[in-house]
Amino acid sequence: MAFEKDLNLDATELRLGLPGTSDESAKNQTPATLRSNNKRALPEESMSSNATASKNCDQETAPLPKAQVVGWPPIRSYRKNNLQPKKSEGEISGIYVKVSMDGAPYLRKIDLKVFKGYPELLKALEDMFKFKAGEYSEREGYNGSEFVPTYEDKDGDWMLVGDVPWEMFTNSCKKLRIMKGSEARGLGCVV
Amino acid sequence: MQKKTAYSFPEEILEHVFSFILSDKDRNAASVVCKSWYEIERWCRRKIFVGNCYAVSPTMVIRRFPDIRSIELKGKPHFADFNLVPDGWGGYVLPWISKMAGAYPWLEEIRLKRMVVTDESLELVAKSFTNLQVLVLFSCEGFSTDGLAAIAASCKNLRELDLRDSEVDDLSGHWLNHFPDTYTSLVSLNISCLGSDDVSFSALERLVGRCPNLRRLLLNREVPLDKIANLLSRAPQLIEFGTGTYAAELRSDVYSNLAEAFCNCKELKSLSGFWDAVPAYLPVIYSVCSRLTSLNLSYAPIQNPDLTKLVSQCPSLQRMLVLDYIEDSGLEVLASSCKDLQELRVFPSDPFGEEPNVSLTEKGLVAVSSGCPKLQSVLYFCRQMSNAALVTIAQNCPNFTRFRLCLLDPKIADYRTLQPLDVGFGAIVEHCKDLRRLSLSGLLTDCVFEYIGMHAKKLEMLSVAFAGESDLALHHVLSGCESLRKLEIMNCPFGDKALLANAAKLETMRSLWMSSCSVSLGACKMLGQKMPRLNIEVMDEKGPPDSRAESDPVDKLYIYRSVAGPRFDMPPFVWTMDEDFASELS
């Protein structure tokens, strides 16, 4: 091992980072991209990632937040919501909204934060409630479908899902309702 | 000679005797003595507790007990509190209300826990039960302030309205206005769960002002601190009070008004609320502290030394709920000041943080166990534990009835010896012979379950997560715990063997929940076939079980005994493994 120092492998070693920076400072950059809000990770997966996270943790790296297992720790939602948010607000909490569908007596809840955009959200809704939303166009809303996804915004207005930019939607959506097509006419008719 | 037997007692006398028998267990025992006792008893039973709303149907209840005045129903399994039960699972109260509306017009008390209550149900309650006095909706959901308005408008004899921990859709704050001006019977009001638009403050003030028998008032978070004094001055007879947000800029007039208002509440014994509490306003309650038997600071971000100082002023405390800001040092003070303490709950202020943010360890709990001889009920969240500490705690408190320990890192070992915590929990069950409820956590092998099966003979409810190594663990519990009623398990390597070997045991219990374990679909189907009086419900959001192999583990399993047969209100992601299901697919 002493040879390495003599050979000054550091200088020749290929690695990430600017020349002149050491490994230590590269490690200190919090791996923000590795933080994941994988609340719904399968328990086996999250347990093994817990194990690796604690093993790989050395003194310099910011420890990876433990993948959250649904149901653990056993604290009720209203208590979790009440806690003082620490450094990273909004990282732990999702945007949970209720989803109902006309004719189905069962409500679901989804976390809007796990979706990157409308296509993913619509696919998830279609899978959840077993319906097809049809083609969306700005002018005509959802074409060729019996059911239409709508949402109630902060002002209490019912809008067509997809009418506003995604960020605006996740910030203002209070609840989702998959309406019967006949009832949805008149919504989102802009032009 | 005419033979006279005890059975020739006139019915009226038996009925009178039965009226002194209040516990369900005793009533049930009396009802099976003979047919005539059964008949007399069923006509005069007034109070019913249904621990699982799917264990029996409303029709069956009404058929047997024609004149009920008080009913308590529970719906979803306990793990629903921790988001393990998806929305839409069930627990609807409407079928019960609909049937009871016709059968029990004189119903006085309705208590519901973890049920889905719609506005339609509440409107039906308001319409059907003119004599309703008590409505408790504990951890319920599905209704809005419209439903509450219907109750307020119609229930002239309402004494108690308690919405604890329920999820209410906020529509308008004016539901309180629906209590007529002539309504003055309110004794207990808990609206602590309501949101911002849900309460019109002036209506609340008027209501409080005209109800001289109001003894319990738990406000919601949005009621500002500067309104409390006025409210309290209208109700100095309060015994239990929950504040709203306990934070405001320090102003001497607000401060002195509050202090005076609290001082005038000579019967105040219980305080809660304290959302966002700031230390500056804590001293206003000092005049009440010496009398307090119950204090809930679990929403208060108050830290030491203010927190400990407050606690040290409450020598009469029997019940204490607090965040882990209290730290070991504060718990030591609690232990030396509060010799009447019976119940302690310490919640985590930063449950998802990697590093401990406070100095709360096993030492705090050891101190309380040592200093408080009447301690019976514990819920304690912390980050480290040792077998030695648990043994000490067990020896100090042989009278524990409820012990729930939650180590935030689910599989953490004894921090001193790196051993599993089997011995520690073993000591708890061995010493605490009256233990009725136990929650385990930390690194645990099959050993702890052997201890539990051997010693926990009075245990009624057991909660397990990330524990055990094999089916033997589950077998120990199912075969050894004679009084077991509820067993809930998550993320444990328990499979089919123990379950199938102890199938009969399941009929003696209220329910079994297993999620993220290794019970196979085939085993569930077999149980469904063999045990007609059990409902075997498999929950899987990935798709119908018939699309998967018999050996595939099910995601969530809920088994409960029932005389009502399988239910029909299941959502698309729940399948019941009854005889029909099994034979369809074989």
CATH of the domain at A100: 3.10.20.90
The answer as to whether A177 is a domain residue is yes
**Sequential DSSP letters for B503-562:** HHHHTTSSEEEEESS--BHHHHHHHHHH-TTEEEEEE-TT--GGGS-TTSBPSEEEEEE-
The answer as to whether B479 is a domain residue is yes
B528, B464: one domain: no
B448, B388: one domain: yes
B478, B512: one domain: no
Q: What is the pLDDT of residue A107?
A: 66
Q: What is the pLDDT of residue B122?
A: 97
B537, B445: one domain: no
Residue B509: both structure tokens together: 């219990």
Are B515 and A71 inside 8 Å of each other by CB?
yes
Q: What is the pLDDT of residue A62?
A: 39
The answer as to whether A108 is a domain residue is yes
Q: Please, which contacts does A119-122 make with residues 24 or more away whose CB atoms are closer than 8 Å?
A: A121/A161, A122/A149, A122/A161
Q: What is the pLDDT of residue A80?
A: 80
**In A166-184, which positions are buried (b, 16+ CB within 10 angstroms) versus exposed (e)?**
eeebbeebebbbbbebeeb
Q: Please, which contacts does B432-435 make with residues 24 or more away whose CB atoms are closer than 8 Å?
A: B432/B394, B432/B397, B432/B398, B432/B399, B432/B400, B432/B401, B432/B403, B433/B398, B433/B457, B433/B458, B434/B399, B434/B400, B434/B401, B434/B458, B435/B400, B435/B401, B435/B402, B435/B403, B435/B459
The answer as to whether B80 is a domain residue is no
B549, B520: one domain: yes
Q: What is the pLDDT of residue A28?
A: 38
**Last residue of one domain, picked from the residues B471, B494, B517:** B494
The answer as to whether B443 is a domain residue is yes
Of B351, B353, B411, nearest to A75 by CB-CB distance is B351
pLDDT for residue A45 is more than 60:
no
pLDDT band at A2 (very low <50, low <70, confident <90, very high): very low
pLDDT for residue A46 is more than 60:
no
B490, B528: one domain: no
Of B87, B275, B352, nearest to A68 by CB-CB distance is B352
Q: What is the pLDDT of residue A142?
A: 77
Of A71, A75, A105, nearest to B79 by CB-CB distance is A71
pLDDT band at A155 (very low <50, low <70, confident <90, very high): confident
Residue B316: both structure tokens together: 């009469």
| CATH number, domain containing residue B18 | 1.20.1280.50
The answer as to whether A165 is a domain residue is yes
> Collapsing DSSP states into helix, strand and coil, what is residue A66?
coil
The answer as to whether B423 is a domain residue is yes
Q: What is the pLDDT of residue A88?
A: 37
The answer as to whether B14 is a domain residue is yes
A76 vs A65, more confident? A76
Give the chain B residue whose CA is nearest to the CA of A91: B352
Domain containing residue A149: 96-184
Residue type for position B384: Q
- d(CA B139, CA A76) in angstroms, rounded, equals 10
Sign of CA dihedral B85, B89, B92, B95: negative
The answer as to whether A106 is a domain residue is yes
- CB contacts, 8 Å: A71 with chain B: 79, 82-84, 465, 490, 515
Residues of chain B with pLDDT under 50: 585-586
% of chain A with per-residue pLDDT over 70: 51
The pTM assigned to this predicted structure is 0.80
Q: What is the pLDDT of residue A186?
A: 63
Q: What is the pLDDT of residue A7?
A: 42
B488, B511: one domain: no
Q: What is the pLDDT of residue A103?
A: 73
Count of beta carbons in the 10 Å neighbourhood of residue B221: 20
B401, B488: one domain: yes
B489, B511: one domain: no
Strands (E), B192-281: 216-218, 240-242, 270-272
Max CA-CA distance within chain B? 89
C-alpha dihedral (A149, A152, A154, A156), degrees to nearest 10: 150
B428 vs A52, more confident? B428
How many structural domains is chain A composed of? 1
pLDDT tens digits, one per residue of B431-481: 999 999 999 999 999 999 999 999 999 999 999 999 999 999 999 999 999
How many structural domains is chain B composed of? 3
Q: Could you identify the residue written with the tokens 């070997």?
A: B501
The answer as to whether B377 is a domain residue is no
The answer as to whether B81 is a domain residue is no
- d(CA B564, CA B557) in angstroms, rounded, equals 19
Q: Does B82 touch chain A (CB under 8 A)?
A: yes
B481, B390: one domain: yes
Are A73 and B351 inside 8 Å of each other by CB?
yes
3-state helix, strand, coil in chain B (%, to 5): 40, 20, 45
Q: What is the pLDDT of residue A171?
A: 85
> Collapsing DSSP states into helix, strand and coil, what is residue A35?
coil
- d(CA B129, CA B125) in angstroms, rounded, equals 6
- Cβ neighbors of A40 (< 8 A, separation 6 or more) are A70, A114
ipTM: 0.87
The answer as to whether B447 is a domain residue is yes
- CB contacts, 8 Å: B571 with chain A: 106
Residue B239: both structure tokens together: 């015994």
- CB contacts, 8 Å: A68 with chain B: 352
Q: What is the pLDDT of residue A84?
A: 53
Are A66 and B354 inside 8 Å of each other by CB?
yes
pLDDT band at A141 (very low <50, low <70, confident <90, very high): confident
Cβ burial, residue B260 (10 Å; 0-12/13-18/19+): middle
Domain containing residue B407: 383-494
pLDDT band at A49 (very low <50, low <70, confident <90, very high): very low
pLDDT band at A100 (very low <50, low <70, confident <90, very high): confident
Give the chain A residue whose CA is nearest to the CA of B347: A75
